[in-house]
Amino acid sequence: MTDPTNTAFAAATPPVQDTLITTDTAGLQAADIQIPAGDRAIPGYWAAPAGTGPYPVVLVVQEIFGVHEHIKDVVRRFAKLGYLAIAPDLYVRQGDVSGLESIDEIRKIVSTVPDRQVMSDLDASLAWAGQHGGDLDRVGVTGFCWGGRITWLYAAHQTRLKAGVAWYGKLVGEAGSLMPQHPVQLAAQLKAPVLGLYGGQDQGIPLETVEQMRMALAQAVSPSAIHVYPDAPHAFYADYRPSYRKGAAQDAWQRMLDWFRQHGV
């Protein structure tokens, strides 16, 4: 097992908890990478089993703290299970959030990130995966917090996607030039089924908005689904944070894997 220091985490994260899970690279190929994306290359992190593949692909979309050690560890967890997983840095054009010391500072940068740019950069990351041993006929996406919302959006964007799993991602909001639509407005446009995983005690995502999404999916006759953990807060999967809830996290991880297998990832 690896033992990452606190410097591997974004400066704004809470002190790392003793519930931290670490995953080594034994039997894996894993590295920081540069992904050609439009007018520039964007940084990212990838891992896959040692060998040439082809491997099913999972795009891992960062939480608000960026592609820090927790997200990299999630990438390695997928690789240990036989996936090629890749987490692109989706804020890099707007700024580096890793050294910012408050979440309010991070939000100022995140609020300037256009959804269109994120979709394009995820497409570029998928293309990179296809050139490095990924099977583009078996593609999934999952994301946490900020990345949970993006997971819903990407499922309405990318036709190659087989399935998505959104962890406590925002579902409703005001429309603007950078974020013209939110998941609740896209329920009928999903090109792949999405499993939404939410906490009943999430103070940032009220249960009434989760129910709005559930109703929108039902009206669209979508195969997507939502599961709520009544006693879980926001970020219940983030094992390095006080919000971690082991029981809910383990159950949700297994639900995610089952969802991917069920839908051909």
Q: So which residues are the catalytic ones?
A: 145, 202, 234
Closest of 120, 125, 146 to residue 43, by C-alpha? 125
Q: Identify how many contiguous H helices and E strands the chain contains and give both numbers.
A: 6, 8
Tokens representing 73 are 């560890």
Cα–Cα distance measured from residue 80 to residue 26, given in angstroms and rounded to the nearest whole number: 9
Whole-number Cα distances in Å, 54 to 48, 194, 201, 212? 10, 24, 40, 39
- Alpha carbons within 13 angstroms on the beta-carbon side of residue 59 total 35
Kind of pairing between the strands at 40-49 and 84-88:
antiparallel
> For the packed helices 146-155 and 115-131, what is the interaxial angle rounded to 10 degrees?
80
- Asked whether 4 and 21 are in contact (CB, 8 A), the reply is no
Which residue reads 């609740």 in tokens? 184
Rounded to 10 degrees, what is the CA torsion of 254, 256, 261, 265? Answer: -140
Note whether 184 and 172 are within 8 A (CB).
yes
Using DSSP's 3-state secondary structure scheme, residue 56 falls into strand
